[in-house]
Structure formats: C-alpha cells, structure tokens
Amino acid sequence: MDAETLPGLLEPARFEGEFDGRSTALFLLHNERGMAVAVCNLGARILQIVVPDRDGVPGDVALGYDSLDDLLQGAPSMGAFIGRYAGRIAQARFTLDGHEHQLVANAGPHCIHGGPRGSRHRVFEARQTDAHTLELQHRFETTDDGFPGALALRLTYRLTEHNELVIEHEATAVEGHGPASFTCHAFFNLDGPGHVRIDSHRLEVRASHLLTTDDDNIPTGERTPLRDHPLNLRTPQTLGDLPDIDHSYVIDADPLTTSLRLCARADSEASGRTLEVWTTEPVLQVYTAGKLGTGGAADIGKRGVVHRPRSGLCLEPQQFPNAPNCPGFPFNRVTADRPYRAQTRYRFGVLNG
C-alpha cells in the first residue's frame, strides 16, 4: 500500500525549515498493511501513527503537530526520542568515580529528559533507506548537556508487516564514558487524537514493583511492591478508574537476560485497536498525561485538536531513572567496550471477536 492512499497524512513541506542552524524535515514510513508513521528529525519525533481499527479503517493513534511552527510551540516531549538520560535526575547532579557532574536544571532544581539541550531539542541526521526504514544519528557532547563522555547514537525506526513500529538504538562511547538512558515519548490514543480522553482505554503492565518516589517524583532508590497497590496493573484496568499515573514500573523479567519481552498491553473497545509494548529495557514509565495542555497557552495539535489532560498515554521503556544517584539501582554506564543497545516494539492489532 502506498502512503499516498492513506487519508490525512502529514505534509512534509510544512516541516521544512531550520532549527539551531540545521535543516528540519518530515519522513513518511509505510508498510503494505495500512500502517504509516511520520517522523520529524527535530527530536526524532513520532508525530503520527496510522493503523487500522477493527473494521480495517485506517486512523491516527498518536498525538502530534501539523507543522514545524506548531511543533516548536507545543509540548517539548511530544513524540520525541529522549536522551541522554530519560526521566529526572535529582538536584541536576550526580557523582561518578569521585567527580561531581553538574547538569542544567530544567524541572525546578532537577534535570529531566537530558536537560534543555537533550535530544528532544536537537536536529538528528536522518536518512530514509526504504519505504519502511528511517536511520537517524546524533552525537552527545559534554559541552552541550553536561553529562560526562561523548556518545555517538545510531537510531532506527522500522515498520514490519505485522504492524509493528520497531525502535532500535546503539550508543557508543567515542570519548570518555558516562550514563545513558533513552526512550520513546510518543503519546498514544487508540481512538484517535480527536478523542479527548483515554479514560476508556484498558492497560496491563507486567510488573510487580514500582520505583518509590519523593514529593518531586524523584526515585529514591527503593521499590514499592504492587500487591494490593491501587496502581497494580498486572490485570487490565480501565484508566478512567485510576488516578493520574506518572510512575516507573520495574518490568518482570529474568535479571540475567536482556531478551525482548512483552511488558504492557493497552486496548480500546471503542475502536477495537490494541497496542502491545515489547522491549529489552528494564523499566517502563507509564504516563497518563495528567499535565498535558495545562500551560499558559493552548497546545494545538493536528487538525486543530487541543491537547488536554489525559488525552494521551505514554508507555516509555528505559533504564532506571535517577540511577546515578541511587546505588541500589542497576547503573547503565556506556564505555568504549560496552555500547548501549536496546530495542522496543510497539505492536498494533485489533481485539478478537
């Protein structure tokens, strides 16, 4: 199936421009089963995902923007590939090998999602190799974000004929070494961006523990058992029955393996669509977007849709947040002989029956 036959795809011409001295562009990927994905190289942002519903009708299931101008005025994490460190780092600093590294605070006194010069604010080099594959590259420098070491990132977005969006990355230390944690920050709505809330979605997460956090939602280094916990998602729960979620779930897995495994599943009875998340990463950040669109100005998405609280669901596989400050957490240090490789698959389908 050609991308041109799918309705309502974003227009690449509206994303041609310049940011931070580098050219921006939009790339359209598609497979033969009616799936299409639009990615802007500013932040490697996934701005549109088109997949069929239970009746075979293609529709958009990702929040995003119609143009570069709208993107620049919108939510900074919308659809972005997050790095060099996903989540919050307490007090925007950490000590590594006896040396304290001071980062730039951008969430009160803390650093979130790599700081103000993290990858969501950078233009990636991009090359579309075929109809269903996009290769992107970015180099992280200490002079940009304050993290130790220089990392070369190779990122691939690829569609399969099983209606999967496969995201693979490899980060290599090219100078020094330091921590890293990447994730995809797509905002999903299985009924489409025009449906204001995700409250009718059901969500299951294969995790037995949450990361304990303080009043600023910073992980403390402890884990909270989910047995009898109100946010236990080991059996599917309707999101409208739950409070806002912005928590890190420790994915159930054999700690000696890094194999791909199913960590979460969401569905919507209204559209009949399902979403499975498969990953090699150890943690899943679940965010029901309770703060989306609560800034001073309206956040205007595609086709004039106003982004409001709980209008999207983020399922973000990653390393342990704040691990550089938590000795009890696994610490992902990228060195010359230990690159950071991971894969996440967002697999779309429909409910049976």
Instruction: Please list, in sequence order, all residues whose beta carbon lies within 8 angstroms of the beta carbon of residue 186, skipping any fewer than 6 positions away.
Output: 46, 49, 62, 79, 314, 346
Residue 185 appears among annotated catalytic residues = yes
Nearest to 352 by CA among 237, 228, 269, 253: 269
Query: Is 252 labelled as part of a ligand binding site?
Result: yes
The CB density around residue 269, as the number of other CB atoms within 10 Å, is 14
User: Which of the residues 164, 276, 281, 316 is marked catalytic?
Assistant: 316
> Three-state secondary structure along the chain?
CCHHHCCCCCCHHHHCEEECCEEECEEEEECCCCCEEEEECECCEEEEEEEECCCCCEEECECCCCCHHHHHHCCCCCCCEECCECCEEHHHEEEECCEEEECCCCECCEEECCCCCCHHHCECEEEEEECCEEEEEEEECHHHHCCCCEEEEEEEEEECCCCEEEEEEEEEEEECCEECECEECCCECCCCCCCCCCCCCEEEECEEEEEEECCCCCEEEEEEECCCCCCCCCCCEEHHHCCCCEEEEEECCCCCCCCCEEEEEEECCCCCEEEEEEECCCEEEEECCCCCCCCCCCCECHHHCECCCCCCEEEEEECCCCHHHCCCCCCCEEECCECEEEEEEEEEEECCC
User: Which of the residues 132, 185, 247, 307 is marked catalytic?
Assistant: 185
Residue 100 appears among annotated catalytic residues = no
Q: What residues are annotated to the active site?
A: 185, 316
Binding-site annotation, residues: 252
Residue list, annotated binding site for beta-D-galactose:
252
